[in-house]
Amino acid sequence: QVQLVESGGGLVQAGGSLRLSCAASGRTFSPYAVGWFRQAPGKEREFVTAINWSGGNTFYADSVKGRFTISRDNAKNTVYLQMNSLKPEDTAVYYCAADQDSSKWLRGYKDRSEYEYWGQGTQVTVSS
């Protein structure tokens, strides 16, 4: 079992930055790939970014490419999401999720059903 806790959300003006953290406890975190998803009011949960177990492979949705950066520190059991140049349309609850890093995950990292463990989410609000 892996428990995930997100933090770092808040209210920021457009153009500002936030860094989200996803802290894991329970099993050793390093074998797990991690994804960030977000859900705005009235919309489906969508893929934002993902990282494999080593941090050597990262993936981004087109809407955040060049603005968001995912990274991880396995010694601290934490994955980070640095969000720069934030836009009002980035407003959402952000969730981190974990799954065993595997070829199956690599084929389906954008699919929320691929992930076994989820955090409770952290709210990000970007004002215009």
CA-nearest of 84, 22, 12, 8 to 50 is 22
Ordered per-residue pLDDT tens for the chain, 128 residues: 899 999 999 999 999 999 999 999 987 888 999 999 999 999 999 999 999 999 999 999 999 999 999 999 999 999 999 999 999 999 999 999 999 988 889 899 999 999 999 999 999 999 99
Instruction: Give the chain as a DSSP string.
Output: -EEEEEE--EEEETT--EEEEEEEEES-STTEEEEEEEE-TTS--EEEEEE-TTSS-EEE-TTTTTTEEEEEEGGGTEEEEEE-S--GGG-EEEEEEEEE-SHHHHHHTT-GGG-SEE---EEEEEE-
Place of tokens 């003006």: 13
